[in-house]
Structure 1
């Protein structure tokens, strides 16, 4: 554990409901997140997240290091509160909107009016599939190694543009290692919460993976809630039968949901087909 007094804490970069994030001028590749005094933080849960990352096999560890802002160290803020050190999203995951530098979250990848306002272009089909492959890869590593992410949403994943985009998952301190306490209370994001009762843990991640495909590939902006009936997979952009089946199975109220590992070969095959068609 690192004491906050040993860190050179720079300007506040941003914050949410749980804490504030600050730059580290002498370590620009990392950030410190300080939890607010009113937020309940389970120290043992933070320790579990840090230890989990340290114990991963090298290949899985490299995926987490590249694609996530996983907690790397716990910070003692010396006032009875805690914080964490985490990787900062690299520069390509940021952009400027009306003079303000903002993280490029996934909402700008499927909310087309918002993307145009920000001067961005939603990713074409093959780029959307590349983002989905990276998202499924991250969730596959988590699930195979006993972790549930939880609050998957547009706000908690960043992306880069171009024909070979990259994905970066943030807010990883809300994840939970199986059999260990959760560091922070469970959060859910509007339009990304699972409406079906009893869908918890890994199954909730799997529901949201299917929802992410629906949003990113088809730019679907509507809700998935208790009023949703007979949602049909759109005809355009073209999609393989296997991918359509995974979306349907992942979003249904009662089903054995496809795992992240189930998605990977289907997404890779779909990307190959789109490449051949120039999409």
Structure 2
């Protein structure tokens, strides 16, 4: 949908030392209404000053909207993703490729990670990553923003200097009372909540496309489950029983509630965060 260009010679006045990039929307996806993207940029000014550094560390948020001579927005300016959120992936040919450290790599087993040369976090580090993810969702939901397509490719992770996650594609989120700037928020395959699966079965496209805090909470629970249960079948697993024997009862209970078919019973991100920090 977009191409990303480095802007090594440009800086914003409010953060003169912070590298930025230009995410240019491809012509076939335009026009994109500029006002929706501008509303996301304006949200930054409403964040409490004590939370803003954490917000900027954990969400790759648009900081400017770019316009050109055509209708709508041409793209957005984003902070450059820090190096620690990339991995050097060793291919079978021996070639090394630099890739975003997508959370999908956490779903693989230790042998795969050793073979391709990427980190394999231990159990404690994985719990810290889950805590970081839950806090990112706390901040979004506190602003009444629905992330939407929370999935294996939109969450980046790092292990050092300390475990943390970074949410990307934040130009596709939906603030309360508005539409997602880039159109309907998708469900990635194998990340569909039960209510979307049921809607698809009855060919209800409107019901299928609904995204809200409850669907975010389901996907948060799914991410926690998969981060904590790496190995065969992890990337499609929706059954919390696979980790029941290794999790504290309270965390397992939250997993069961999060993956429930009852949206109203899913715990808030704040509940997850408190549990991971207790």
- TM-score, structure 2 length as denominator? 0.82
Instruction: Please state if 1:110 is matched with 2:107.
Output: yes
- Cα pair 1:93 1:160 within 8 Å, conserved: yes
Work out the CA distance in 2 between the residues paired with 1:66 and 1:35. 24
Instruction: Please state if 1:38 is matched with 2:28.
Output: yes
- Cα pair 1:42 1:181 within 8 Å, conserved: no
Secondary structure of 1:154 counterpart? coil
Q: Which moved more, 1:164-173 or 1:115-124?
A: 115-124
Count of aligned residue pairs for this structure pair: 247
Inter-CA distance 235–245: structure 2 relative to 1 (3 Å threshold):
closer
Q: What's the counterpart of residue 24 of structure 1?
A: 7
One of 53, 57, 69 as aligned partner of 2:48:
57
- Cα pair 1:151 1:188 within 8 Å, conserved: yes
One of 92, 95, 117 as aligned partner of 2:87:
95
Post-superposition Cα deviations, 1:102-134, rounded to whole Å, max 9, x if no partner, equal 111111112226533421232111111111111
- TM-score, structure 1 length as denominator? 0.82
Work out the CA distance in 2 between the residues paired with 1:78 and 1:111. 46
After TM superposition, give the deviation of residue 259 of structure 1 in Å: 0.3
- Cα pair 2:104 2:235 within 8 Å, conserved: no
- Cα pair 1:159 1:165 within 8 Å, conserved: yes
After TM superposition, give the deviation of residue 76 of structure 1 in Å: 1.1
Secondary structure of 2:66 counterpart? strand
Aligned Cα root-mean-square deviation (Å):
2.1
Q: What's the counterpart of residue 267 of structure 2?
A: 258
After TM superposition, give the deviation of residue 209 of structure 1 in Å: 0.7
One of 223, 228, 233 as aligned partner of 2:236:
223
- Cα pair 1:110 1:122 within 8 Å, conserved: no
After TM superposition, give the deviation of residue 192 of structure 1 in Å: 2.1
Instruction: Please state if 1:205 is matched with 2:220.
Output: no
Structure 1 unaligned blocks of 5 or more: 1-17, 270-279
Q: Which moved more, 1:113-122 or 1:124-133?
A: 113-122
- Cα pair 1:108 1:114 within 8 Å, conserved: no
One of 213, 232, 235 as aligned partner of 2:241:
232
Q: What's the counterpart of residue 175 of structure 1?
A: 173
- Cα pair 2:225 2:240 within 8 Å, conserved: no
After TM superposition, give the deviation of residue 181 of structure 1 in Å: 2.6
Inter-CA distance 114–77: structure 2 relative to 1 (3 Å threshold):
farther
- Cα pair 2:88 2:96 within 8 Å, conserved: yes
Inter-CA distance 89–217: structure 2 relative to 1 (3 Å threshold):
same
Secondary structure of 1:59 counterpart? coil
After TM superposition, give the deviation of residue 166 of structure 1 in Å: 2.0
Post-superposition Cα deviations, 1:126-147, rounded to whole Å, max 9, x if no partner, equal 1111111111111111111111
Structure 2 unaligned blocks of 5 or more: 11-17, 90-94, 197-206
